[in-house]
A and B are shown apart, each in its own frame.
Chain A
């Protein structure tokens, strides 16, 4: 079964550094998402992306965050200047259609970001 793949599985970076988290969604999917889970807290929606633009973003997704689909296969999340509170597990997800009715999200295994 096709999978959403995320790399790296664990990323350590210093505060103030830029970091790029990478995701390869399922090939025929059109909608892409990033979620994050701070240790001990809920999984939180960050952003949705369709047709090369952001569909919706949460309050968390401020100017420090950006997403891009640089080619036909990758979907990236960039954090420009990381803060300690950005430490979390970041999940990428994709779906074939926008409505969740019959196209639930397929999640990757996540990238654990540690900011020191």
Chain B
């Protein structure tokens, strides 16, 4: 069984400030971890993913996330927020391999607001 918890349903930052969106997961198998972003009236767009290898992964739009197995965390960061980053962000987990292809378990989402 897998689960994802995103701490904070709303995060507000000033433009240029650090963005930190928290995600903790639970998985009985080695996890694949994902961050998706959803802009208003659009679908879910993949920001980045961790599968194997390097634990610090870089994604689009300057975002990155670090897989910390000891902490069961996969927090999303961006050094300097931009107004265009305002969106809802979803952390998701799936099992590595197996037959549950594409079966993602999502967190509840975090709405990021960026103030000028």
A binds B: yes
The residues of A with any CB-CB pair to B shorter than 8 Å are 4, 31, 33, 35, 41-45, 48, 50, 55-56, 91, 93, 95, 98-102, 104-110
- Residues of the B chain whose Cβ atoms lie less than 8 Å from the Cβ of A45: 103-105
Residues facing A in B17-51 (CB within 8 A) are 32, 34, 36, 41-46, 49, 51
Q: Within the assembled complex, what's the spacing in Å between the Cα atoms of A108 and B42?
A: 8
Please determine whether A91 and B107 come into contact, CB atoms closer than 8 angstroms: no
Q: Within the assembled complex, what's the spacing in Å between the Cα atoms of A5 and B44?
A: 12
Report the tally of A-B residue pairs with Cβ distances under 8 A.
73
B67 within 8 A of A: no
Interface residues on B, range: 20 to 34
B62 within 8 A of A: no
Q: Which residue of A lies closest to B9 (CB)?
A: A40
Please determine whether B101 and A100 come into contact, CB atoms closer than 8 angstroms: yes
Please determine whether B105 and A99 come into contact, CB atoms closer than 8 angstroms: no
Please determine whether B90 and A48 come into contact, CB atoms closer than 8 angstroms: no
Please determine whether B43 and A107 come into contact, CB atoms closer than 8 angstroms: yes
Q: Quick one: which of A4, A31, A43, A50 has the most chain B CB within 10 A?
A: A43
Q: Quick one: which of A42, A44, A107 has the most chain B CB within 10 A?
A: A42
Q: Which residue of A lies closest to B4 (CB)?
A: A42
User: A100 with B107: in contact, given A91-B43, A110-B43 (CB under 8 Å)?
Assistant: no
Please determine whether A48 and B103 come into contact, CB atoms closer than 8 angstroms: yes
With beta carbons under 8 angstroms apart, the residue of B45, B94, B100 that contacts A107 is: B45
With beta carbons under 8 angstroms apart, the residue of B34, B92, B96, B101 that contacts A98 is: B101
